[in-house]
Structure 1
Amino acid sequence: MAEAVEPRRWHARLEGLIAEYEVPGASLAFLHEGEVHEFAAGVLNVDTGVEVTTDSLFQIGSITKVWTATQIMLLVERGELTLDTPVAEVLPEFAVADPEVTKTVTIRHLLTHTSGIDGDLFLDTGRGDDCVEKYVRACADLPQNHPLGVTQSYCNSGFVIAGRVVERLTGKVWDAALREQIIEPLGLTHTWTLPEDVLRFRSAMGHMDGRPAPVWGLMRSGGPAGLICARPADVVAFARAHLGTGLLTDPRAMWEPQVDVPNPHTIGKQWGIGWILNEWEGRLIVSHGGNTIGQAAMLWMVPGSETVVCLLANGGHTAAFQQALATELFDDLLGLAVPPVLGPPAEPFETDVERYAGVYERAGTRMTLTVRDGRLALFAEATGALAGLQPDLAFDLVPVDDTTFAGRPEGEPQWLSAVFYELADGSPYIHLGVRATPKIA
């Protein structure tokens, strides 16, 4: 077991893996047998050549959502609301396009991605302390991606709304409440949300196609959904607190399954409160990932073993990089096999692909599926504020069974999975990238 955490070995492995997956720089921290081990490799920015160190800050992206969910749970434990409190009870001014959802959507819906609110509204409402308040006001026009509570679809907007709930109940802007509720109680010194604080440290620049991304970060209004910057050791300390009572009296309440994920092949089988839940060889895995503009983050926790792993990277083939490192690390630490990524079946599977052709659309993304030479082809384009900051995707979908498909964009080592399914009312959807997208034509 000691060999698994031998510093020179893991530093060499991190260097080898970033070279293999064309990652400019990465930082790794893991808690195992009571000790935290930290490693760094590569550069923060290929233009400056500044080296990654273990105290460098990366954007942890949507791992932030677990922090926001924890803020809500702290307020729940104080008796200030419940998970089933309607959002409108805390925020009377809150509204979305559907008046019935406006009245009935709950905190639980927000934290489990089951609200159905079309969730990828990236809207710059300025740099002021009222940016989250302004964002929530702009949600009045957001339509439903699916009816309330009937399925799971990743919803950034829901977590910004949850952040506004935190603001209302604490009387502080989200960033300040985060510091008071979590960052300062845990003694975290390298966890920040605003660029003027981040620039006081070594900080990573995202990369796209091997070059620095066109912008450093997302708009401040998205803070509660994904704007924390941190070193991996701080993220590990946050997760470690969830293994005991360092923050919450009962953090395990956040691991209770709330909804099945229609496509269980991407990142997990179920969603808890904030956390993603999976199972490897019969063991519970509690996790969350995050992607921003050219940066990618992953956090895994194995309850019972007291093992936590955080991996942060700033570009390259990050999904394959994360999979490769996790596969090797968890085998060494725990003898635990990470499930392989779903790919095409060994023997070709024949099914009627014509039924899935059409246009699927939600806020931020339009997907066009066509059939050519008997193969189902997908073309996905970003719309809205992120158009131009995210590349279009085009690849064939290979059937694994009647409803499950695998596809791989050109030049990518890792396969993606897609599941076609229908709601109880017969409405057709594709579940890809942890999001449900309805067929509109």
Structure 2
Amino acid sequence: MRNISISKNPNDLNKFLQEKMVEWNVTGMAAAVIKDGELLFEGELGLRDVKQNRNVTKDTLFAIGSASKAFTSLAITMLVEEGTLDFDAPIKKYIPEFEMKNKYAGEHITLRDMLCHRSGLPRHDMVWLDNTSLLPNDLIAKMKHLDLSKDFRETWQYNNLMYIIIGYVIELVTKMSWSEFIKAKIFEPLGMNNSNFSVEVSKKSSDYSLPYALKGDEVHPLEFRNLDQAQPAGGINSTLTDMTKWLMFHLEKGKVNGTQIVSEKNILQMHSTQIPCKLVPWDFNEVQFSSYGLGWFVESYRGRKHVHHAGNIDGFSSYVSFLPDENLGIVILSNTNTPFWTIPITYSIYDRILGDELVDWSGMIKSEFIKAMESTTGVNKSEIKSQEEDIKPSHSLDNYTGIFENPGYGTIHIVKQEECLNLIYNNVEYKLKHIHDDVFTMTMNDVYIITVSFHGSSKKSIDYVSIPFEQSVKEIQFKKGRK
């Protein structure tokens, strides 16, 4: 570990990061700071494996989650630059069968629209999450059945599905898989020799991190989330050594060892505002003009342009951030998936290096984060508790069982086990708790409680079940099929 004193910072950065890890209950972390083309700080902190007492190193593999989107965006930019693709041509030019429920959107949506999340389609993440057998053709067939929550190009709405489809476009026009293209055109030229595209590959390494999450006041290990079906949206695993090369590439505006890999003009387009957006549910005077570029968030931090992207997936958080006009950037990789914690740490490092007024970013954002989480979970719980519990179901449990189908979301199975009902979706089994009449609840990710409502045309039959898998549109209806 390189342990240095940051200019105008009275405290050692390594000590500061250790304190913040304790404050945010982070198990392990690798961090780097680059200034004016030099590695100013490289930190290896905490454990990658608590049980085996194995330390984090600069070569420990972490899942970087949605920070992978910038790689997909760069791949598209490369293909645009060589004339193979066009940012602004309708996607149907490359995928003629592509359709959306909003016909106009389906006819006119472009790669640019998809890259900057202005399709009108909300996340609909349950379509792909845990669906490891999902193929791009399957997803494209589902798209025309998914409800939009906003008009096309009306506003920014983060969407992983669109990035999965973008990855398929790369495959169609290059005859290489998305991962083959990223490896050949980005990883190899940048020297990112230890990065990969699957947790199954990571687990074969001698230096990889386990995923952890905070439950109550304790940190517990998690199962790895397999993202093989969603690699272009969040499937990269990388190391601090490799990610500092990625950060340097962007600070150098598309150059690797003095060679221009992508034109500065096109790199700057990736880093430029395409649509206003609001990333976090709070406001601070120091942070203004939040927007999304092409695979990157763009904002003004204390009057300086700030380009960044986080990644959060089960047990892991990552953050890649840079101030291009200051030639200054930060990478953080960690094995705890608390959202937003990397943001205040990054702001604080910038303040110390640049001599700005020190602010308790960690305390302020943690307070706002807690409020947001309480608000999110509190609404669901209050709605459930407002109903009288433990009333006998309207039907026998056997009547609720069966196979239920939705053309966009696929199939759910309701099965009876020991006088209880379980719901199976995308190979994950959820226990249903009866609340009243034909309404049950299921708990997702140990946090979110959502309702599962059964509907029938008579007291003897169940015709369909509705579930709010996507909160911004009407409940998803699954019609009962064969038993």
TM over 0.5: yes
One-letter amino acid of the structure 2 residue matched with residue 83 of structure 1: F
Alpha-carbon spacing, 1:146–1:186, altered in 2? closer, same or farther (3 Å): same
Does structure 1 conserve the Cα–Cα contact (< 8 Å) formed by 2:199 and 2:224? no
Does structure 2 conserve the Cα–Cα contact (< 8 Å) formed by 1:95 and 1:139? yes
> Which residue of structure 2 aligns with residue 374 of structure 1?
none
2:23 pairs with 1:3: no
CA distance in 2, matches of 1:318, 1:328: 17
Q: Among residues 221, 246, 251, which one is paired with 1:238 in the alignment?
A: 246
Percent of counterpart pairs with the same letter?
23
* Secondary structure of residue in 2 paired with 1:159: helix
> Which residue of structure 2 aligns with residue 295 of structure 1?
316
How far is the alpha carbon of 1:393 from its aligned partner?
5.3
* Secondary structure of residue in 2 paired with 1:70: helix
One-letter amino acid of the structure 2 residue matched with residue 4 of structure 1: I
> Which residue of structure 1 aligns with residue 270 of structure 2?
254
> Which residue of structure 2 aligns with residue 283 of structure 1?
304
Q: Deviations over 1:3-57 (max 9, x none)?
A: 2179x93333332321222111111012113222321111113233221111101
What is the total number of aligned residue pairs between the two structures?
368
Structure 2's unaligned 5+ residue stretches are 256-260, 369-375, 384-423, 431-442, 450-469, 476-483
How far is the alpha carbon of 1:316 from its aligned partner?
6.5
2:327 pairs with 1:306: yes
Alpha-carbon spacing, 1:180–1:336, altered in 2? closer, same or farther (3 Å): farther
How far is the alpha carbon of 1:97 from its aligned partner?
3.0
One-letter amino acid of the structure 2 residue matched with residue 248 of structure 1: V
How far is the alpha carbon of 1:87 from its aligned partner?
1.1
* Secondary structure of residue in 2 paired with 1:67: helix
Q: How does 1:267-282 map to 2 (within 5 A)?
A: 269-282=290-303
CA distance in 2, matches of 1:201, 1:159: 31
CA distance in 2, matches of 1:338, 1:162: 41
One-letter amino acid of the structure 1 residue matched with residue 23 of structure 2: E
2:33 pairs with 1:30: yes
> Which residue of structure 2 aligns with residue 152 of structure 1?
156
One-letter amino acid of the structure 1 residue matched with residue 291 of structure 2: Q
How far is the alpha carbon of 1:176 from its aligned partner?
0.7
CA distance in 2, matches of 1:70, 1:31: 21
TM-score w.r.t. structure 2 length? Answer: 0.68
* Secondary structure of residue in 1 paired with 2:6: helix
CA distance in 1, matches of 2:230, 2:295: 16
Q: Among residues 186, 191, 203, which one is paired with 2:208 in the alignment?
A: 203
One-letter amino acid of the structure 1 residue matched with residue 311 of structure 2: G
* Secondary structure of residue in 2 paired with 1:3: coil
2:352 pairs with 1:332: yes
* Secondary structure of residue in 2 paired with 1:63: helix
> Which residue of structure 1 aligns with residue 461 of structure 2?
none
CA distance in 2, matches of 1:225, 1:318: 17
2:457 pairs with 1:437: no
2:231 pairs with 1:223: yes
How far is the alpha carbon of 1:142 from its aligned partner?
2.2
TM-score w.r.t. structure 1 length? Answer: 0.74
Does structure 1 conserve the Cα–Cα contact (< 8 Å) formed by 2:271 and 2:298? yes
CA distance in 2, matches of 1:197, 1:307: 32
Q: How does 1:11-410 map to 2 (within 5 A)?
A: 11-36=14-39, 37-119=41-123, 120=125, 121-124=127-130, 126=132, 131-199=135-203, 200-208=205-213, 209=215, 210-243=218-251, 244-246=253-255, 247-249=261-263, 250=265, 251-262=267-278, 269-315=290-336, 317=338, 319-320=340-341, 322-336=342-356, 340=361, 341=364, 368=380, 390-392=445-447
Alpha-carbon spacing, 1:318–1:109, altered in 2? closer, same or farther (3 Å): closer
CA distance in 1, matches of 2:140, 2:13: 44
Does structure 2 conserve the Cα–Cα contact (< 8 Å) formed by 1:97 and 1:144? yes
Radius of gyration: which is bigger?
2
CA distance in 1, matches of 2:473, 2:357: 35
Alpha-carbon spacing, 1:318–1:27, altered in 2? closer, same or farther (3 Å): farther
Does structure 2 conserve the Cα–Cα contact (< 8 Å) formed by 1:326 and 1:338? no
Farther off after superposition, 277-286 or 42-51:
42-51
How far is the alpha carbon of 1:259 from its aligned partner?
0.9
Does structure 1 conserve the Cα–Cα contact (< 8 Å) formed by 2:312 and 2:339? no
How far is the alpha carbon of 1:216 from its aligned partner?
0.6
Farther off after superposition, 111-120 or 91-100:
91-100
Does structure 2 conserve the Cα–Cα contact (< 8 Å) formed by 1:327 and 1:338? no
Alpha-carbon spacing, 1:45–1:140, altered in 2? closer, same or farther (3 Å): farther
Structure 1's unaligned 5+ residue stretches are 346-359, 372-382, 395-434
Q: Deviations over 1:192-248 (max 9, x none)?
A: 112343232411222122444442123311100001111123223213212323232
